[in-house]
Amino acid sequence: MADQLRLGFIGAGEIAVRTAEAVAKAEHARLVAVVDANPDLARDLAERQGAEAEESVDDLVARKDVDAVYCAVPHFLHSTMAQKAARAGKHVLLEKPTGTGPEEAERSLQAARQCGVSFSVPFIYRYTPAWQRARDLVADGALGRLQMLHITYTASKPASYWQGGYTGRARSDWRTRLLQAGGGVLIMNCIHEIDAMRWVTGLEAERVYAEYGTFGTPAEVEDAISAVVRYEGGAIGTIAAGSRHPGGAGPIGNGGQRIVGVGGQIVLDRGHLWGYSEEGADGLPAGQWTDLALPEADPRTLCVEDYAQAILAGDPPPVPEDAALHAMRIIGAAYRSRDTGKAVRIEEVGRKVVMGVRPLN
């Protein structure tokens, strides 16, 4: 087994810088080459990490010393880049969301399958102590049968965010454009919580009803959304998200992600986890709210390291290839529901175009 997974980056913008830092810290990964539509950004990131800047995506994916391609570009380019990397025989680590909608997400995944390479998404919440402990508690039955899952996201993104993210590293308005971003706060931010909730509870969504709007953001995409989700087995969920709530989460926090069972509940907020179990469970005294002490962690580095080790060993990636697609179907159903005014069944979303995927070779 090789010592280190050799990564090529497509995109050297805001999040690529942070992922490159994680790669530098990970024992079994190394950044080899970077490409960006803005050559200055590619050179800058390559120089910081001792890698090489490439002039084109084709050149990057053709490199023999690249084992896997990490791609972090505007959403509308994700599927195209994933297909290019897969066709060149590279493993694909694609940022969320894996397309502007479930159809593109499906295409990204199918490309990897047809080319015999692995496909994964850095869903870093899976590497946070709070979500990991939540998963253990649910698996141990501390909450009993699950009845409600609540996702809350409350932020106040500054106007500058829409022209270059939080750092302004790559100046562009793609985040404001519906066709380029695919949507607003739900697809850009809540996709993490949607994935984590599914990973923790194991519950699959059955149908979604949503309402959304744009209230305080100079963008075509939504900055406020409210959705109701019905899960297989009967549990009910809500998603309430806003990216232009003045004051952000405020003194009481987001209100948290809440998982409620018939025997207890847990609340996650800002890296904290509180639990209540009527009968008690590991670390949870019976009948009393407990603030569970959690260790510090660097989820992005843990995610890169775990991924690199799995790919080097020839194992499937730890975040399974279809994880993003499941989240994207919920998101796609929510957007379609608002447009139709009706609840949308998950099985109706993202399948039609799949039939039309061109064979790759």
Ligand X SMILES: NC(=O)c1ccc[n+]([C@@H]2O[C@H](COP(=O)([O-])OP(=O)(O)OC[C@H]3O[C@@H](n4cnc5c(N)ncnc54)[C@H](O)[C@@H]3O)[C@@H](O)[C@H]2O)c1
Instruction: Please name which of 93, 69, 71 lies closest in space to residue 13, comparing C-alpha atoms.
Output: 71
What length is written for the chain? Answer: 361
Interface pattern 115-134 for ligand X (x via CB under 6 A) = -------x-x----------
The answer to the question of residue 180 lying near ligand X (CB under 6 A) is no
What is the gyration radius of the CA atoms in the chain, in angstroms? 20
Among 72, 185, 186, 229, binds ligand X (CB under 6 A): 72
The verdict on 13 binding ligand X (CB under 6 A) reads yes
Residue 114 binding ligand X, by CB under 6 A: no
Locus of tokens 């060993």: 313
Helix axes 299-312, 14-25, angle to 10 degrees: 70
Pairing of strands 119-120, 91-94: parallel
Binding status of residue 44 toward ligand X by CB under 6 A: no
Among 5, 7, 9, 15, interactor with ligand X by CB under 6 A? 15
Percent of residues in the chain assigned helix, strand, coil, to nearest 5: 40, 25, 40
Q: Which residue is nearest to ligand X (CB)?
A: 13
Least Cα distance to 240 among 268, 210, 272, 265 occurs for 210
Residues 141-170 as x/- pattern, contact with ligand X by CB under 6 A? ------------------------x---xx
The encoded tokens of residue 241 equal 């998200």
Question: Any contact of residue 190 with ligand X (CB under 6 A)?
Answer: no
**Closer of 53 and 77 to ligand X (Cβ):** 77
- For position 8 contacting ligand X by CB under 6 A, the verdict is no
Collect all residues with Cβ–Cβ distance below 8 Å to 77 and sequence separation of at least 6: none
- Using CA atoms, how far residue 115 sits from 69, 99, 199, 206, in Å, is 14, 19, 27, 30
| Residue 225 interacts with ligand X (CB under 6 A): yes or no | no
Asked if 73 is part of the footprint of ligand X (rule: CB under 6 A), the reply reads yes
Hey, which residues between 232 and 261 contact ligand X (CB under 6 A)?
Answer: none
CB 18 to ligand X: min, Å: 8
336's tokens: 């379609």
Shortest distance (Å) from residue 49 CB to ligand X: 15
Is residue 107 at the binding interface for ligand X, with CB under 6 A as the rule? no
* Footprint of ligand X (CB under 6 A): 10-16, 35-38, 41, 57, 72-75, 77, 95-96, 122, 124, 165, 169-170, 172, 188
